[in-house]
Amino acid sequence: MRWLILALLLGLLVLAGSQQPEPIGEAVATHGQVEPLPPVPKLPPHIIAIARLRLRESTLRVDPMSDFNLVQNVAERTGWAHLYRERIVVSLENDDIFRFPILIFVSEHQPMNLTPVERERLRRYLRGGGFLFVSECSAKLKLRPELRPELQALLPESKLKPIPPNHPIYRVPYRIDKIVPARRGGKTFHEGMELNGRLVLLYSQNAEECSWQSWRWTGPLCACLPPDFEYAFRFGVNLVYYALTH
């Protein structure tokens, strides 16, 4: 009987070792060239979509499902029938970004390093009515410089500064009275940039996308220990609502 139990335990260990773990939002080093982006779908005019921004050196291996999970959660919470529920990834190599009202950029282990052409394209996007959400995990800043200088260079006429707690983005549809920081170096506020009274860029070091990434799994597993699901998704819904209505 003892040998049988040992054999069963050994079999379970082999099985567990053969299974691939779920991605948990951590960046994984890759080798070789970055895979080409899938074609951007042509959507009918009444469909609204959110796009994930990939830069030249980006692998999208940090929180790879966060944007997809956000869209699914927003659709479930709001019932918006015109929200496109599939994932779309765009780059700054062409004008595809101008087809989408909201861009999400999740920082990785490299700085942004925008070229003049890329910076000008993103600047035109923001000045033309687009909205950019930039999430930077503060726990990983020891690996590279933070993005703040690069973001400020996008809009020299605006100042990247803390967003006041009574801003409309924290009031509709959900009332958010407190910014829940990541538990490793997070902030109790967000920063943003405005043009003509409209918030066009929101910069977070609280890793809300880490909670979006871990949704329906075992919990927020990222190294930065992000905020809880309910806060993160309420914030995400408000983010989308504001960007689509302003």
Half-sphere exposure (Cβ direction) of 61: Cα atoms closer than 13 Å: 13
Number of structural domains, the chain?
1
Residue 11 lies inside a defined structural domain of this protein? no
Mind listing the pLDDT tens digit for each residue in 66-92?
A: 999 999 999 999 999 999 999 999 999
Q: What is the tens place of the pLDDT at every residue in 98-154?
A: 999 999 999 876 778 899 999 999 999 999 999 999 998 776 666 667 889 999 999
For residue 186, being part of any structural domain is answered with yes
Does the residue 128 lie in any domain? Answer: yes
Average pLDDT over residues 24-33: 39
The percentage of residues in the chain with a pLDDT greater than 90, rounded to a whole number, is: 59
Sheet holding 198-204, edge to edge: 89-90, 50-53, 102-106, 131-135, 198-204, 191-195, 161-162
116 is a domain residue: yes
In a domain, 5, yes or no: no
What is the residue range of 95's domain? 39-245
Q: How far apart (Å, rounded) are the C-alpha atoms in residues 34 and 71?
A: 25
Sequence-distant (6+) residues with CB within 8 A of 246 are 168, 198, 199
Task: Please count the other Cβ atoms lying within 10 Å of the Cβ belonging to residue 245.
Answer: 8
Termini Cα distance of the chain: 70
Any bridge partners for residue 106, and if so which?
135
Q: Is the pLDDT of residue 44 over 50?
A: yes
Parallel, antiparallel or unpaired: strands 191-195 and 198-204: antiparallel
Q: Which amino acid is at 220?
A: P
Q: Are the C-beta atoms of 109 and 143 separated by less than 8 Å?
A: yes
Write the DSSP assignment of the chain as a string of letters: -HHHHHHHHHHHHHHHHHSPPPP-S------SSPPPPPPPP---TT-B-EEEE--TT--S-SSTTHHHHHHHHHHHHH--TTB--S--EE-SSSSGGGG-SEEEEE--SS-----HHHHHHHHHHHHTT-EEEEE--GGGGGGS--SHHHHHHH-TTS--EEPPTTSGGGTSSS---S----TTT--SS-EEEEETTEEEEEEESS-HHHHHHHTTTTS--STT----HHHHHHHHHHHHHHHHH-
Position 125 in a domain: yes
> Which pLDDT tens digit goes with each residue over 186-217?
899 999 999 999 999 999 998 898 888 876 65
Q: What is the pTM of this model?
A: 0.83
**CATH number of the domain encompassing residue 78:** 3.40.50.12140
| Residue carrying structure tokens 């405005």 | 194
Which residues 6+ apart lie within 8 Å of 152 measured at CB?
159, 160, 193
Instruction: Let me know if residue 240 belongs to a domain.
Output: yes
When pLDDT is cut at 50, 70 and 90, the band that residue 229 belongs to is: confident
**Whether pLDDT at 218 is above 70:** no
Q: Is residue 220 part of a domain?
A: yes
pLDDT surpassing 70 at residue 23: no
Give the lowest-confidence range in 25-39, 168-182, 229-243. 25-39
